[in-house]
């Protein structure tokens, strides 16, 4: 048991547990906070993989910006906390998000798969992995603006469409023109 291994198990465990709690927390605000923990955990996993740029982006954008927007959305929509109906019968109890066994089993299975792949993965990958770039920021910039320039541009159109859509759908005047 070496240190990266311990770090992986701890971070993976935190990520999986908080991911499960996102789905099962009875309060929306709690779910949002657990989501922040999940994002941070994934950022930590990126660090372990020596993808420092991705880790920084994950922390800044997801744990930072995206979480802020999520909390804003909860505040602005005055969302009432989700009232979960009492589960009925043994099938209901099995499926119920916070009490049931199925979501828990799913989370444990996912964790087990991750662990097995990690334990057995290193020597037997089907393809030889790319040589780790010494400066991943430069590497990613090259990939983004040279190789993947088209998807990058299309993504900007996508964001524009999503923004216009958000404005159209939330405009208050109610569909009539001026």
Partner 1 sequence: MDFGAVWPEIILAGVGMLLVLLDPFVGAKRQRALGYLAVGGIVAAGIATLFEPRTGEVALAGMVILDPLSLFFRLLFLSAALLVTLFSFGFLQERDQDVGEFMALLCFATTGAMVMAISWDIISLYVGLELLSISSYILVAFLRDERRSHEAGLKYLLNGALASALLLFGLSLIYGLTGTTAIPVLGRQLAAALGHPYGGIVWLAVGLVLAALAFKIAAAPFHLWAPDAYEGAPTPVTGYLMVVAESAGFAALIRLVSTGMGPLSTEWGIWLAGLAILTMTVGNVTALWQQNIKRMLAYSSVAQVGYILAGIAVATRGGVGSTLFYLIAYLFSTLGCFAVIIALSARGHGEQIADYAGLGRRRPWLAGLLTLFFASYVGIPATAGFMGKLGLIGAAIHGDMAWLAVGIAVNSAISIGYYWSVARTMWIDPVPEAAGAIRASAGGSISLVLSAVGVVLLGLVPQMFFHLSQWASAGVIR
Which positions touch partner 1 (CB under 8 A)? 117, 120, 124, 126-130, 146-151, 154-155, 157-158, 160-162, 164-165, 168-169, 171, 174-178
Question: Please, what is the minimum distance in Å from the beta carbon of residue 167 to partner 1?
Answer: 9
- Rounded to an integer, what distance in angstroms lies between the CA atom of residue 165 and that of residue 86? 37
Question: Please, what is the minimum distance in Å from the beta carbon of residue 17 to partner 1?
Answer: 20
Nearer to partner 1, 85 or 126 (CB): 126
Nearer to partner 1, 86 or 176 (CB): 176
- Rounded to an integer, what distance in angstroms lies between the CA atom of residue 45 and that of residue 47? 5
- Rounded to an integer, what distance in angstroms lies between the CA atom of residue 81 and that of residue 64? 23
Nearer to partner 1, 1 or 130 (CB): 130
Q: How many CB atoms are closer than 10 A to CB 149?
A: 11
Beta strand spans in 44-145 (E): none
- Rounded to an integer, what distance in angstroms lies between the CA atom of residue 113 and that of residue 116? 5
- Rounded to an integer, what distance in angstroms lies between the CA atom of residue 61 and that of residue 4? 25
Contact present, 95 and 87 (Cβ < 8 Å): yes
First-to-last CA distance in the chain?
Answer: 68
Question: Please, what is the minimum distance in Å from the beta carbon of residue 100 to partner 1?
Answer: 20
Question: Please, what is the minimum distance in Å from the beta carbon of residue 154 to partner 1?
Answer: 5
Question: Please, what is the minimum distance in Å from the beta carbon of residue 143 to partner 1?
Answer: 10
Nearer to partner 1, 1 or 117 (CB): 117
Nearer to partner 1, 26 or 165 (CB): 165
- Rounded to an integer, what distance in angstroms lies between the CA atom of residue 120 and that of residue 5? 12
């Amino acid at each position: 048991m070496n240190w990266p291994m311990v770090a992986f198990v701890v971070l993976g465990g935190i990520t999986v547990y908080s991911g499960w709690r996102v789905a099962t927390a009875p309060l929306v605000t709690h779910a949002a906070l657990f989501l922040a923990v999940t994002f941070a955990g994934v950022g930590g996993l990126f660090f372990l993989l020596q993808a420092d740029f991705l880790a920084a982006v994950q922390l800044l954008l997801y744990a930072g910006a995206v979480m802020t927007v999520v909390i804003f959305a909860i505040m602005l929509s005055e969302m009432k906390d989700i009232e979960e109906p009492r589960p009925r019968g043994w099938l209901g109890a099995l499926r119920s998000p916070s009490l049931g066994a199925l979501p828990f089993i799913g989370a444990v299975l996912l964790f087990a798969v991750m662990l097995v792949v990690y334990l057995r993965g290193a020597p037997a990958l089907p393809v030889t992995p790319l040589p780790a770039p010494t400066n991943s920021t430069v590497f990613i910039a090259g990939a983004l603006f040279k190789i993947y320039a088209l998807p990058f541009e299309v993504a900007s159109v996508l964001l524009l469409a999503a923004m216009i859509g958000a404005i159209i759908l939330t405009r208050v005047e109610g569909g009539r023109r001026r």
